[in-house]
Structure 1
Amino acid sequence: MWVALGVVAVLLFCGVPAGLAAVLIARMPQTPALPDAAASAAPARSPVAGDPPEVVGAWLAERIDLLLDQQAQALLRGDEQGFVGVADPASPAAADLKRQFRVLRSMKVAAWDPSRNGPLARMAGNTAEWRVLVTVEHCFVVPGCDPGPVTIGTRWVDDGRQPRLVAVEPSMSGVEGPRPWEVTDLAVAIGTRTLVAVPQSVRNQLPDLLKAAEQAATVADRYAVDGSKPDLYRVFYALKPDWERWYGGGRPAWTGGYAVGIGGDRFDVVLNSDGLHRTAVDDLLRHEMTHVASLPERGHASGERWWLVEGIAEYAGAGGRPVREYDRLEDVTRLLGTTSGGWNGRLESLEPAAGAEDWRVSGSYGVGYLATRYLVDRFSEERLLAFFKAVVHDGRSEEDASVEVFGVEWSVLHQECVTYARSAR
């Protein structure tokens, strides 16, 4: 079972062979946006017949602000009718809000602060329908948590009396959307350190997944580089349709899971159910949750430090097993012995391409693990974390960090790490 990881922007992938399909969500055409009513100090007056769109838009914006605030209060106090009541009962938005209410409440939503993100725009071909982006600062479970943002598109109909929500568009900002709770009916379980959510059709798997996540959290917490543990680990288990949609989809075919930055110094973990054997879940959770604990808020781009980012996660994922029991050694042997399509012996060039063969991916993670394991065995976990912080968090060079933390030139340690990887085969 592969548990291979790759990094793209703030995204970190863990891999099992799995097919992926691209997702294309079309945007509806719309007319140019109107000036934002929020920029005006005076309250908007009620429109009358014949008023220009600017006047109507300003009036609608104020009403929508009020409805968003009322809806947020309803959600936090558990009032489903108040949350759903902003929608036209006959519209798709009503069904979406009912599902979202159930999921958000089961996730113990602790903060929900929506605000318009820009002006209203009248939809082309429909003078009664308007579109506006809404950014929601939100978080779950932890009272007093530091909220993170998500921006969604909303469409409203003006009936002359009160704007009514008729559509909620899934967030699609970069790789951040849609979030699982936006588009999937989830079953949720919450432990001491983790929140685990799965599609309702596989809710019978929740107890085992929660138990595994809670155990993984005790390991991942050790790798909080700056000493500040995540307030909560959020884990989402994706069936194939969810995997291809959540957070933009489009992962490499070997990906079995990933950790994705969602803002507010938070990461979500997603597991791919397709081909994920139950025996690999523990290792995969330790790996991904260690990314959550160890990475800086901005995440980490793929590149020269890939070996260290993935190496420390692989080290945690191995769960303290002896090196001889590490399950990638065969692929490491193949990688180190291959002249065509192999590796040039430099840790900074270890990262596999998105389309790499499974053995190449696995061997690369294996070398990262072995290099990290060598540093731990020689110097200690504490000093490895100090090295990780200097390089990944502070942007220091391996050369400077190695001398400062280990007291050894990096050129020497690099060669020792590679030699250790070769000898561990």
Structure 2
Amino acid sequence: MTDGDQQPGETAADREPGVAPVATPEPVPATGENVTQAQAVPEQATAAVPARRRRWPLWAALAVVVVVLTCALPAVLLVGLVGGAAGRTATGDDRATAAARRLGARMTAQLDRQAAALLGGDRNGFLDVAEPGARADLTRRYAALRALRVTVWRPAADGIPRTVTGRPGEWQLAVRVEYCFVVPGCTAAATVFGTRWREAGEQPRLLAVEESRTAPAGARPWEVSDLAVTFGKRTIVATTPALRAKLPGLLAEAEAAAKVADLYTVGGAPPDRYLVYYAGRAEWRRWYGGGRPRWTAGYAVGVGGGHHDVVLNAESLSPTGVDDLLRHELTHAASLPERGYSDRATWWLVEGLAEYAGADGQPVGRYDGLPEVRELVRGGWNGRLDGLAPADDAADDRVGGSYGVGYLAVRHLVDRYGEQRVLDFFRLVVHDRRSAEEASDQVFGEQWATLHDDCVRYVRTVAG
């Protein structure tokens, strides 16, 4: 897990008023067999599902813990974009600002044309608003979005255009896009990216689309990579064309993991689909900004609308080590609040619940992390759950021990009070940001100081 300050996320209701939704096509029925490769011309293939099982060698980092949703930051924070705050009202505009607004409206009309073409499967129409130099990148984006079965694509200007210094006739515009995959009625995810334009009368020409710069989520995989994608009833799994042979097995394990993760939904309905990306070495370093702790095998990242994309590190996983990692990460996607969380003191609870789901009911004595727990407990752990979160550069044993202590603490609470009351406690602490003391009194009818010490004694007893 990466620590750090977080910015609050944004709900769909926070987007600028007056942005009309783009009409969406009927969804394509999802199957567990269909694999679409996103290239200039998407293609399909089918394959069989291999066997599986075993623990992952590294640990699951929760980007969403460190990453609350970020897609709605103002354009002034975009790297290489706008240098000043955009005007928000039409009253009091000077002549230059009014002209920029009119130009922005024409750019938005071009983006709306492009959105309609994307949703209608018209690649030529999607490319038609752009100059030749932008078309290779746009072709890749179009193919990736179509492979993911995009059903909603709502672009809107995030501010007004700004001139590009030293380039007469060129303009920059921050664009916010809300999007859905497979499910047309979803609460949309969102991102903000920069665009460059050439002024050309009533139809400005698109020169370039930048990667999302809204830290720390960073560039989505569909922005920067060719994708091969497969679909199940509850999950979407995507990777690069080079790793597409992994998709059938990954889909089978993701579908099984989703059934478990659904049981740990907190604060509403389960996700309409869990989106899982399987990253090779280069993609791991680039997707969502890269830069994860070296011990990370997977993470979940908030992308808006209550959605949390999951990314797995292909290089850190054995062929049989994916199932419990998927249960862990999909449980984050099901249990975490839309805006994520920022309190490192609750790390043990967030990761403990995910580890509990990952263990999938196995006896405590079979938990793979017990050796690391023993080492942590015997190595001078201070007995505080609120100080468990490991540093980015922590040793593997320290990381494993921290996850294991979180698991055992949650396991003890579940054994004593049942899963539903633990989920109620989780909701109050993580979603509602109530103190553990207040939540414990309300849910368990016990003082948290007493329960905390009971959990620690249980951990020490199991560690031996």
Alignment of 1:294 with 2:345, yes or no, is no
Distance 1:55 1:410, change over 3 A: closer
1:145-194 deviation digits (Å, cap 9, x = unpaired): 11122111111122456421111100010112201101011011111011
Measured after TM superposition, the shift of residue 399 of structure 1 is 2.0
In 2, Cα distance between the equivalents of 1:169 and 1:237? 23
1:335-383 deviation digits (Å, cap 9, x = unpaired): 00113xxx21011111111111110000000000011111111221111
- Report the equivalent of 1:264: 305
With structure 2 as the length reference, what TM-score do the two structures score? 0.81
Out of 62, 79, 85, the position equivalent to 2:122 is 79
In 2, Cα distance between the equivalents of 1:27 and 1:403? 46
Out of 145, 164, 172, the position equivalent to 1:104 is 145
Out of 376, 383, 400, the position equivalent to 1:335 is 376
Measured after TM superposition, the shift of residue 325 of structure 1 is 1.0
Contact 2:155 2:177 in 1 (8 A): yes
In 2, Cα distance between the equivalents of 1:346 and 1:101? 50
Out of 399, 411, 423, the position equivalent to 1:373 is 411
Aligned AA (1:2) = P
1:245-273 deviation digits (Å, cap 9, x = unpaired): 11111111101111111111111111111
Distance 1:83 1:344, change over 3 A: same
1:249-303 deviation digits (Å, cap 9, x = unpaired): 1111101111111111111111111221122211111001001101111111241
Determine helix, strand or coil for the equivalent of 2:322. helix
In 1, Cα distance between the equivalents of 2:276 and 2:199? 39
Measured after TM superposition, the shift of residue 41 of structure 1 is 12
Alignment of 1:405 with 2:446, yes or no, is no
Out of 68, 90, 93, the position equivalent to 1:39 is 90
Distance 1:58 1:302, change over 3 A: closer
Contact 2:176 2:191 in 1 (8 A): yes
Q: Note the 1:188-267 alignment, pairs <5 A.
A: 188-267=229-308
Measured after TM superposition, the shift of residue 408 of structure 1 is 2.6
Q: Which structure would you say has the larger RCO, counting Cα contacts within 8 Å and 6 or more residues apart?
A: 2
Distance 1:27 1:400, change over 3 A: closer
- Report the equivalent of 1:120: 161
Contact 1:6 1:351 in 2 (8 A): no
Contact 1:33 1:119 in 2 (8 A): no
Distance 1:227 1:167, change over 3 A: closer
Contact 1:34 1:57 in 2 (8 A): no
In 2, Cα distance between the equivalents of 1:110 and 1:7? 27
Out of 158, 170, 195, the position equivalent to 1:154 is 195
With structure 1 as the length reference, what TM-score do the two structures score? 0.88
Greater Cα offset, 391-400 or 330-339 = 391-400
Contact 2:190 2:304 in 1 (8 A): yes
Contact 1:33 1:122 in 2 (8 A): no
Contact 1:6 1:302 in 2 (8 A): no
Alignment of 1:389 with 2:427, yes or no, is yes
Distance 1:288 1:32, change over 3 A: closer
- Report the equivalent of 1:47: none
Aligned AA (1:85) = D
Larger Rg over CA atoms? 1
Determine helix, strand or coil for the equivalent of 1:279. coil
Distance 1:66 1:322, change over 3 A: same
- Report the equivalent of 2:111: 68
Structure 2 portions without partners, runs of 5+: 1-55, 69-77
Contact 1:112 1:136 in 2 (8 A): yes
Measured after TM superposition, the shift of residue 8 of structure 1 is 5.9
Out of 320, 345, 348, the position equivalent to 2:361 is 320
Contact 1:187 1:197 in 2 (8 A): yes
- Report the equivalent of 1:181: 222
In 1, Cα distance between the equivalents of 2:337 and 2:101? 41
In 2, Cα distance between the equivalents of 1:30 and 1:375? 50
Structure 1 portions without partners, runs of 5+: 14-25, 43-51
1:314-338 deviation digits (Å, cap 9, x = unpaired): 0001121111111110000000011
Determine helix, strand or coil for the equivalent of 2:414. helix
- Report the equivalent of 1:349: 387
In 2, Cα distance between the equivalents of 1:218 and 1:254? 27
Aligned AA (1:357) = A
In 1, Cα distance between the equivalents of 2:453 and 2:207? 62
Distance 1:412 1:137, change over 3 A: same
Contact 1:33 1:121 in 2 (8 A): no
- Report the equivalent of 2:348: 307
In 2, Cα distance between the equivalents of 1:290 and 1:40? 48
In 2, Cα distance between the equivalents of 1:281 and 1:241? 20
Determine helix, strand or coil for the equivalent of 1:136. strand
Distance 1:147 1:178, change over 3 A: same
Aligned CA RMSD, in angstroms, stands at: 2.4
- Report the equivalent of 2:209: 168
Distance 1:134 1:305, change over 3 A: same
- Report the equivalent of 2:20: none
Determine helix, strand or coil for the equivalent of 1:39. coil
Out of 325, 345, 359, the position equivalent to 2:397 is 359
Q: What percent of counterpart residues are identical? A: 51
In 2, Cα distance between the equivalents of 1:281 and 1:299? 24
